Amino acid sequence: MRLQQSKEQLLDAYRQMKTIREFEERLHREIMTGEIAGFTHLYSGQEAVAVGVCQHLDSEDLIVSTHRGHGHCIAKGCDVIDMMAEIYGRQTGLGKGKGGSMHIADFDKGMLGANGVVGAGGPLAVGAALSAKLDGRGRVGICFAGEGSINQGAVFEAMNMAKVINAPAVFAIEINGYSEHTGASYSVGGIDIANRTAGFGLKTVETDGCDYHAVYDAMAELLDHARAGNGPCAAVFRTTRFFGHFEGDPQKYRARDEVKQHRLERDCLKTFRARVVPVCGISETELDAIDADVLALIDAAVDRARAAPATPIEEMEADVYVSYQQDQP
Amino acid sequence: MTVMTYREALNQVLHTEMARAPDIFVCGEDISGGAGGTSGEREASGGIFGVTAGLLPRFGADRVIDTPISENTIVGMAAGASLAGKRGIAEIMFADFITLALDQMMNQAAKFRYMSGGKATCPLVIRVPYGAGMNMGAQHSQSMYNIVTSVPGLKTVIPTNAADAKGLLTTAIRDDDPVVFFEHKAMYGRKYEVPDGEYLIPFGQASLLCEGDDATIIAMGRMVLFAQKSVAVLKEEGIDCDLIDLRTTSPMDEDTILDSVEKTGRVIVVDECTPRCSLASDIAGFIASHGFSSLKAPVGQVTSPHAPVPFARELERAFVPNPVSIAAAVRKVVSYQ
């Protein structure tokens, strides 16, 4: 049985997913121009997970993300304009251009940061959950992870620690088929990830990560459990990645039509449209209007990032410490 | 003033600060000890060095967290909670084991503030018992503070006596940046006079323990105790030394170093680390770059040798710098023409 969601909530979820999709598709094109430096890991294809999870959260709840973090940031409420500026390495970026695509964070929004180290978010998310537990207000700490991090010792430690201290932590594990360039069927020994998380005593649900409603419903159950103080949980979401590990990855490890097939059959936006129109009182026209809004927003984000000032050199040694008493001779 | 051990001074600070600020928690392996044991004794050890004794009965298991043997997550959890409004104090049982937590220390805690453009604070303290001298072998005896000192975003504190331990740990807990706090294992039982009441020592202020015009000895941690013995011997020989206890190696009190070098022109750095990329080599390089015109002799470096810490008593005794080797190094620098 599907949980009831209001029309407004469904429209908002669609807007979030569409924003992530267009943000990433636009980045894919802009990166080819050479204007954006460094590594960028795109989230297209996985939008239903970020949004299905974050629709349950407010800014008091805390999330820790991965190097494929743009979707989590947008779903948690980070400003798209400021995010784009960060990816362009500009002064107006969320981290003044000092973090970059892999390190976007917005503490006011409860987004504790994407991460360049696979699996490092596990311990941090348990810490966020510990903070929530000590405050006793029913907040949670969410760890986004993938099949890459599920092979990292840090994540095993974190899941065990969460159970030992009974932290309101939820591990949202996105199985997109690959850890970097290596298939999960090769790299995940025993392949059954839900079995692993259950083995740590985490209440575990496995579902279709390309289906927003499935993600939303699964998280509702797990978050009730965690918020009530009943301990940590894990959700295993089967999803798909529309791009390579990073932009520029030739993806020779993927069958020629794999992505084409996924875009045709496993596109969470198409699935969402097909489900909500017209039975939820939502029309194609309303969704088309959101599409137009989103495209305009992404256009503006790119334009403003391009026009934004470079981060001044004086910033290079700023923000290392809150305070540091040392003269430079 | 009250006479107490280095261990008692640290323990008193943890009690006082946790009572003062409910957002402080401590976590680590066996920090109360006994959870899950068959005796039902919950406060079985208070940490293997006794520094966290009495915290559990007073502050409860939510704030005094016995952890599994998971160093990376001990630090990472404390860092994550410290990003999210708490002040975590993590204990790594032996400094050698920070290798297991270096990702969370170097790649995470040290960099949150910078990567967020100054928005994040991570008021975290990582306490690490360190050092050789107890025949604990190559994996339980290292100094490690040279590694931590090299990391932008971390602060490094090495108190030498119980008074400094009190003043510096209080400052560390109230500091808004991640601090790694090195406690020499051989110093826990030593007694000192400790100021009563609230006592804070600012970071980046070395302590000039004695003054002399002939040479400057710069030391940190347990090496300061050995250097004090050398200074007494040298004084009888007519060699008077400035002895600088750095107290914190990041930030480092560069002014006190350069002022003394300008006065004496002859310097010895004493460091328990092995020689390559050590505090000794770092400080010698600093003086060569910034105090060269004052120097009358090459900067002497007294360190452990480039080898793992040996187990056997005779070998370990010979491994660590000692008052005799320090005094010999001072004589060599003073007699340099």
Region B102-130 average pLDDT: 98
B247 and B271 housed in the same domain: yes
Within A95-175, where are the H helices? Answer: 121-135, 153-164
Q: Which residues of A touch B72 (CB under 8 A)?
A: 123, 153-154, 157
B86 and B168 housed in the same domain: yes
Does position A51 have pLDDT exceeding 70, yes or no?
yes
Q: C-alpha distances in angstroms, B61 versus A30, A232, B31, B32, B57?
A: 52, 18, 11, 9, 8
Question: Is residue A96 left, alpha or beta, with left meaning phi > 0 and alpha meaning psi from -120 to 50?
Answer: left
* pLDDT score, position A327: 57
* pLDDT score, position A26: 98
Q: Pick from A124, A135, A157: which is nearest to B79 by CB? A: A124
Token pair belonging to A14: 């669609």
* pLDDT score, position B168: 98
* pLDDT score, position B138: 95
CB A245 within 8 A of CB A180: yes
B170 and B249 housed in the same domain: no
Q: What is the mean pLDDT of chain B?
A: 97
Q: Pick from A133, A134, A324: which is nearest to B251 by CB? A: A324
Q: In this prediction, what percent of chain B has a pLDDT beyond 90?
A: 96
Residue B202 counted as domain residue: no
Backbone angles phi, psi at B103, to 5 degrees: -60, -50
CATH code of the domain in which B31 resides:
3.40.50.970
Among A32-36, A183-187, A201-205, name the most confident range: A201-205
- pLDDT tens track for B185-213: 999 999 999 999 999 999 999 999 999 99
Q: How far apart are CA B54 and CA B20, in angstroms?
A: 16
- pLDDT tens track for B135-151: 999 999 999 999 999 99
Region A245-265 average pLDDT: 94
| Residue the block writes with tokens 């990433």 | A24
Q: Which residues of A touch B121 (CB under 8 A)?
A: 322
| Chain-chain contact of B84 with A127 (C-beta, under 8 angstroms) | yes
Q: Domain-by-domain residue ranges, chain A?
A: 7-309
* pLDDT score, position B34: 86
Q: Which residues of A touch B118 (CB under 8 A)?
A: 96, 318-319
Number of domains making up chain B? 2
Closest to B123 (Cα-Cα) out of B51, B178, B45, B58? B178
Backbone angles phi, psi at A207, to 5 degrees: -155, 180
* pLDDT score, position B330: 98
Does position A140 have pLDDT exceeding 70, yes or no?
yes
Q: In this prediction, what percent of chain B has a pLDDT beyond 70?
A: 100
* Count of pairs with CB atoms under 8 A, one residue in A, one in B: 175
- Provide the pLDDT confidence category of residue B27 given band limits of 50, 70 and 90: very high
Q: Is B254 on the interface with A (CB under 8 A)?
A: yes
Q: How far apart are CA B239 and CA B214, in angstroms?
A: 6
* pLDDT score, position A191: 85
B178 and B302 housed in the same domain: no
Residue B201 counted as domain residue: no
Does position A186 have pLDDT exceeding 70, yes or no?
yes
- pLDDT tens track for B32-58: 998 889 998 888 889 999 999 999 999
Q: Which residues of A touch B76 (CB under 8 A)?
A: 120, 122-124, 126-127, 154, 158
B211 and B167 housed in the same domain: no
| Chain-chain contact of A161 with B70 (C-beta, under 8 angstroms) | yes
Residue B92 counted as domain residue: yes
* pLDDT score, position A304: 98
Residue of chain A minimizing CA distance to B81: A127
| Min Cα separation A7/chain B (Å) | 33
Q: Which residues of A touch B120 (CB under 8 A)?
A: 105, 107, 113
CB B4 within 8 A of CB B12: yes
| Chain-chain contact of B113 with A320 (C-beta, under 8 angstroms) | yes
Q: Quick check: is B140 catalytic?
A: yes
Element (H, E) at A233: strand A233-238
B162 and B221 housed in the same domain: no
Q: In this prediction, what percent of chain A has a pLDDT beyond 70?
A: 98
* pLDDT score, position B171: 98
Question: Which of the following is catalytic: B15, B140, B290, B306?
Answer: B140
Q: Which residues of B touch A124 (CB under 8 A)?
A: 76-77, 79-80, 83, 104, 108
Q: Provide the chain B residues 208-237 that lie in CB contact (below 8 A) with chain A.
A: none
* pLDDT score, position A329: 52
B67 and B148 housed in the same domain: yes
Q: C-alpha distances in angstroms, A8 versus A11, A276, A287, B83, B323?
A: 5, 12, 12, 33, 76
Helix, coil or strand: residue B13 = helix
* pLDDT score, position A328: 53
Closest to B320 (Cα-Cα) out of B281, B267, B282, B275? B275
Token pair belonging to A54: 């974050």
* pLDDT score, position A89: 96
| Chain-chain contact of B113 with A319 (C-beta, under 8 angstroms) | yes
B97 and B239 housed in the same domain: no
Q: Mutation target for B interface from A60, A96, A104, A130: give the one with most B CBs within 10 A.
A: A130
Q: Which of B138, B167, B194 is a domain's end point?
A: B194
Burial of B166 (0-12, 13-18, 19+ CB in 10 A): buried
B94 and B189 housed in the same domain: yes
Q: How far apart are CA A161 and CA A165, in angstroms?
A: 6
| Chain-chain contact of A131 with B80 (C-beta, under 8 angstroms) | yes
List, in order, residues 6 or more apart from B126 with CB less than 8 Å away.
Answer: B75, B78, B89, B90, B91, B92, B98, B101, B105, B178, B179, B180, B181
Residue of chain A minimizing CA distance to B60: A134
Q: Which residues of B touch A98 (CB under 8 A)?
A: 114-115, 117
CB A130 within 8 A of CB B80: yes
| Min Cα separation A99/chain B (Å) | 4
| Residue the block writes with tokens 């010979």 | B318
| Chain-chain contact of A157 with B73 (C-beta, under 8 angstroms) | yes
Does position A326 have pLDDT exceeding 90, yes or no?
no
List, in order, residues 6 or more apart from B208 with CB less than 8 Å away.
Answer: B242, B243, B244, B245, B256, B260
Q: Which residues of A touch B258 (CB under 8 A)?
A: 329
Q: How far apart are CA A179 and CA A67, in angstroms?
A: 12
Q: Is B151 on the interface with A (CB under 8 A)?
A: no
Per-position DSSP letters for A67-88, written without gaps between them: SS-HHHHHHTT--HHHHHHHHT
| Min Cα separation A242/chain B (Å) | 28
Q: How far apart are CA A143 and CA A173, in angstroms?
A: 8
Angle at B81 between CA B79 and CA B82, to 5 degrees: 60
B240 and B291 housed in the same domain: yes
B172 and B291 housed in the same domain: no
* pLDDT score, position B40: 87
| Min Cα separation A269/chain B (Å) | 31
CATH of domain A7-309: 3.40.50.970
Q: Pick from B76, B118, B290: which is nearest to A154 by CB? A: B76
* pLDDT score, position B173: 98
Strand partners, B268: B217, B300
Does position B132 have pLDDT exceeding 70, yes or no?
yes
List, in order, residues 6 or more apart from A165 with CB less than 8 Å away.
Answer: A126, A130, A133, B65, B67
| Min Cα separation A222/chain B (Å) | 21
Q: Pick from B23, B80, B255: which is nearest to A126 by CB? A: B80
Region A19-36 average pLDDT: 96
CATH code of the domain in which B264 resides:
3.40.50.920
| Chain-chain contact of A161 with B205 (C-beta, under 8 angstroms) | no
| Chain-chain contact of B117 with A319 (C-beta, under 8 angstroms) | yes
CB B265 within 8 A of CB B294: yes
Domain that residue B310 falls in? 207-334
* pLDDT score, position A325: 80
B173 and B217 housed in the same domain: no
Question: Hey, how many other C-beta atoms are within 10 angstroms of the C-beta on A267?
Answer: 19
- pLDDT tens track for B277-300: 999 999 999 999 999 999 999 999
* pLDDT score, position A1: 55
Q: Which of B133, B162, B194 is a domain's end point?
A: B194
List, in order, residues 6 or more apart from A185 with CB less than 8 Å away.
Answer: A191
- What is the pTM (predicted TM-score) of this model? 0.95
Q: Pick from A115, A154, A325: which is nearest to B73 by CB? A: A154
* pLDDT score, position A3: 80
Q: How far apart are CA A225 and CA A220, in angstroms?
A: 9
Closest to B106 (Cα-Cα) out of B127, B75, B130? B75
Angle at B33 between CA B108 and CA A154, to 5 degrees: 25
